[in-house]
């Protein structure tokens, strides 16, 4: 998603927008303030932390009257804040022509030049957007951002770290993998897939895992996320949509969404169980 967003919106100025569902805007309280703050801002670069997308906003360096920000001759654009997005369960960001008929679940629209639009569509309405203005630390405003564990691709996410984080807990490994304070960014699909690749049952208790299993799990999670990024990237290049990373990956999934279908490795029907309210898919033969 981040790669796709950078391809289409980097350096683009937000001309305006429309908030169709005010509650999607988690901050500021008023949707009008949200839009007024974004208008005239340029999207510099999208970043990602866990499942949060964070766009760095810039505005012309000449400070507005009465502002304490000193006028900078260069660069022409000065850091102005952050636009935060969390898609949650069903959120999608679409890069469209502005005259594309409105989708039923359109929540927020941001308008750009050349009649282009970044449209936030979200059926289940759990998705959120934040505008953090000025030099404030976004994690002070964006709920959950400050509590995230290490990124899976970071050096900090070592087998030793994971062993310590899972520790002697008497909770299932699947539940632990979804805990964003342990690993940032692992979702239901990727957790199921990583557990399959590592040969670990989702309902194993953390305390019962060997160091070898934990090391395998760490490697599998990194692999699954890398594959998913590549799968998503091929669609993003079409510029039709900057959504669908999960969808693309799910077509090639080992176990996710395949309950009752034969395991791609051994042919045993893929099983499903509920853990902490989420569906877990696994092969009872390949995963122990």
- List interacting residues with Zn ion (CB under 5 A): 263, 265-266, 268, 283, 285-286
Chain position whose Cβ is nearest to Zn ion: 263
Compare residues 34 and 282 and give the one whose CB is closer to Zn ion.
Answer: 282
Compare residues 108 and 198 and give the one whose CB is closer to Zn ion.
Answer: 198
Query: Minimum CB separation from Zn ion for residue 122, in Å?
Result: 35
Compare residues 261 and 266 and give the one whose CB is closer to Zn ion.
Answer: 266
Query: Minimum CB separation from Zn ion for residue 271, in Å?
Result: 10
Query: Minimum CB separation from Zn ion for residue 10, in Å?
Result: 43
Q: Where are the beta strands (DSSP E) in 87-226?
A: 91-97, 106-111, 116-122, 128-133
Per the listing, tokens 């999607």 go with 24
Query: Minimum CB separation from Zn ion for residue 228, in Å?
Result: 21
Contact 167, 134 (CB under 8 A): no
Compare residues 27 and 281 and give the one whose CB is closer to Zn ion.
Answer: 281
Query: Minimum CB separation from Zn ion for residue 208, in Å?
Result: 21
Q: Where are the beta strands (DSSP E) in 99-221?
A: 106-111, 116-122, 128-133
Compare residues 130 and 196 and give the one whose CB is closer to Zn ion.
Answer: 196
| Rounded Cα distance, 247 and 225, in Å | 14
Q: How far is CA 167 from CA 177, 194, 196, in A?
A: 13, 19, 21
- Side-chain-side CA neighbours of 157 within 13 Å: the count stands at 23
For the chain, how are helix, strand and coil distributed in percent, rounded to 5?
30, 25, 45
| Rounded Cα distance, 134 and 119, in Å | 24
């Amino acid at each position: 998603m981040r790669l796709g967003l950078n391809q289409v919106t980097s350096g683009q100025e937000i001309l305006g927008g429309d908030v169709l569902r005010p509650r999607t805007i988690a901050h500021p309280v008023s949707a009008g303030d949200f839009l007024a703050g974004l208008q005239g801002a340029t999207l510099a670069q999208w970043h990602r932390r866990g499942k949060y997308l964070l766009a760095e906003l810039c505005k012309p360096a000449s400070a507005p009257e009465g502002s304490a920000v000193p006028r900078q001759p260069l660069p022409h654009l000065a850091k102005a804040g952050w636009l935060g997005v969390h898609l949650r369960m069903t959120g999608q960001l679409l890069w469209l022509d502005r005259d594309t008929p409105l989708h039923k679940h359109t929540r927020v629209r941001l308008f750009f030049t050349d009649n282009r639009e970044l449209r936030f569509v979200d059926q289940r309405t759990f998705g959120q957007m934040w505008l953090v203005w000025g030099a404030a630390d976004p994690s002070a405003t964006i709920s959950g951002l400050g509590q995230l564990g290490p990124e899976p691709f970071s050096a900090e996410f070592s087998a030793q770290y994971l062993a310590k984080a899972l520790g002697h807990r008497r909770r299932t490994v699947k539940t632990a993998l979804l805990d964003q304070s342990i690993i940032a960014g692992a979702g239901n699909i990727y957790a199921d897939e990583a557990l399959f690749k590592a040969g670990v049952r989702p309902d194993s208790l953390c305390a019962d895992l060997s160091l070898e299993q934990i090391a395998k799990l760490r490697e599998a999670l990194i692999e699954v996320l890398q594959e998913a990024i590549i799968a998503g990237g091929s669609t993003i290049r079409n510029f039709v949509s900057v959504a669908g990373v999960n969808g693309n990956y799910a077509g090639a999934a080992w176990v996710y969404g395949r309950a009752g279908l034969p395991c791609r490795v051994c042919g045993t029907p893929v099983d499903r169980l509920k853990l902490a309210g989420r569906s877990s898919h696994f092969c009872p033969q390949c995963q122990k």
